[in-house]
Amino acid sequence: MKKRIRWMDAARFIGIFCIYLGHLGAPVGLSYTFVFTFHVPLFFLLSGCSEALSAELPWKAYLVKNLKRIMIPFFFFSLLSLAVFTLLLNSHTHLSEEFRIILLGDIRNQYFAGALWFLSCLFIVKMIFFALRRLVSKWIQGGWAVLLLCLGLYVCSITVMESPVISPRWPYNIDSALYYSVFFAIGYYAFPWLQRLLSWDRPFKKVICGISFVVLALYTVYLFFGKDALTFLWNIPGLSLSRGLLRPLVVIGFVLLLAKLIEDIPCFLRLGQDTLYLCGSEYMIKFFFTSCLQLIGLDLHLVHPVAGYLYTFLLLALCQYTLVPLEKAMLRKLTPEKNRLSPCTEQKDTPL
């Protein structure tokens, strides 16, 4: 599979845009709460789609591959962000505590660089899914059993553990990984079907996608304004637990169809191809940009949500053309030739 799948890159762009946007907080208005309903599940689902393109490997080779492609960038971006953070505070007194958090996998909402937890969590999700697939395949053929097991992990995380999404506590975000593993599994097993549907090679597929787009768009817009059209489902005994699963999946369906519509826009695709670097650089690009503004006597004030949207796209573009090339060059030194994180070769080489 040498050619990149454009709708996946476009969907990644939408996802990274929403992550940057959501981290701006209240100034972006309704978008602030809306993006958190789906952007993390979207990335885990897309990661599952990428996994479906990967060749089968023995467990040791699979472990080594993901250590190189996920955990080396994780520690690289964590330490680089920490260096910038130290310069910002002009103090080293916090270093021991921040090092401790890094060694624990940047537990979500405990590390100042808010996006880096995803990398350690993704590594755990991939290991869990790989183990389940290998274990189940010895007795049962087909993916439905793995999906059910991942669904069981999802239910367990929200019933037994305390706030696995809002305030995870386990090292390497293991409690969050149990929650998000079902989205990864759905992406893995749904990818062949999605690829056929979104190929649009026959008129009936366009009709199905067109009708679905309208329905899903109406639900998504309604949700954006704080109204959930599926609330009646969450009031049914036994279905309340499914809200954290079904609601994001409905919005993700709309995002994938939207991604298909914008897949021919080159700048969106380039940003979507580099989501690993954009994710790792979020804290740094925000710091450097605001510092440059202050250098010339300017302060940044987001006076309304539209300003937040423009600022988000500006940050992504600046990061793409400033930090990302430098980070790629440095990571090439840390990653062997055959395992480089390439933005333009095989689709399966993209861990995000």
Q: Greatest CA span in the chain, whole angstroms?
A: 67
Within-domain flag for 349: no
Q: Between 42 and 111, where is the model more confident?
A: 42
Query: How many domains would you assign to the chain?
Result: 1
Query: Please, is 1 exposed, middle or buried when counting C-beta atoms within 10 Å of its C-beta (0-12, 13-18, 19+)?
Result: exposed
State the pLDDT at residue 139: 72
Q: Is the pLDDT of residue 259 over 90?
A: yes
Within-domain flag for 342: no
**DSSP assignment of 133-153:** HHHHHTT--SSHHHHHHHHHH
Closest CA to 320 of 284, 280, 270, 283: 270
Within-domain flag for 270: yes
Tens digits of per-residue pLDDT, 261-297?
Answer: 999 999 999 999 999 999 999 999 999 999 999 999 8
Within-domain flag for 346: no
Within-domain flag for 257: yes
Closest CA to 280 of 94, 116, 151, 143: 116
**In angstroms, what is the C-alpha Rg of the chain?**
20
pTM of the model: 0.92
CA angle 230, 231, 235 (to 5 degrees): 125
Within-domain flag for 190: yes
pLDDT confidence bin for 94, thresholds 50/70/90:
confident
Closest CA to 120 of 177, 158, 45: 177
Phi/psi of residue 306, nearest 5 degrees: -60, -40
**DSSP assignment of 268-292:** HHHHHHTHHHHHHTHHHHHHHHHHH
Residue 56 sits in which domain range? Answer: 6-336
